[in-house]
Amino acid sequence: MPKKKLKESTKSFNPIGIFKALILNLGNGFSYVLFFILYLLLFGFIFLIFAKIIDPQNVGCFYRPNDIFVLGKINSSTIDYTQYEQVGNWFIPLMIGLTIISFVIITLLLRLKKTINIQLK
C-alpha cells in the first residue's frame, strides 16, 4: 500500500502526497530516508522566502571571499554584513525557482528509483 501511494503521488507531482508516502516508506530503506530529507530541504527554501519578506535586511545570500557565505538569515548586530548581499531583490524569485527546479528533479529521481526497483524484481 505505501509503495502504491508513492507511485501515484510521484506521477501527479503532488507534494503533500509525496511527503505522506515517504513517511509511510521510511522503514523500507535508506533511500527513502534520503528522499525525505531532500524534500524537507525544499521547505527550507520556502521558509527563506517568508523570512525575506519579514526581515529583508538580514535574510539573503551574503558573500565575501575568504570571509562569509550565508544563504539564509544572519545576525548583523555585531558586524554589518548587509553590504555583502549578492542577490538583493532577486532573492525571492531565485528561491521560488530553486524550489520548483529542485522539486521536479527530486521527484523525477524518486520516480526513476521506483522504476529501477521494479525492473530488478
Distance CA 49, CA 38 (A): 18
- pLDDT > 60? residue 111: yes
Across the range 91-116, mean pLDDT stands at 87
Please, is 52 exposed, middle or buried when counting C-beta atoms within 10 Å of its C-beta (0-12, 13-18, 19+)? buried
Across the range 52-76, mean pLDDT stands at 84
In 10 A of CB 42, how many CB atoms? Answer: 17
Across the range 18-26, mean pLDDT stands at 75
Instruction: Write down the pTM of the prediction.
Output: 0.70
CA 81 to chain centre: 25
Domain assignment of residue 93, given as a range: 2-53+89-120
Number of structural domains the chain divides into: 1
Distance CA 106, CA 8 (A): 15
Q: What share of the chain has pLDDT > 90, as a percent?
A: 17
The region of weakest confidence among 43-57, 72-86, 99-113 is 72-86
Q: Does residue 21 belong to any structural domain of this protein? A: yes
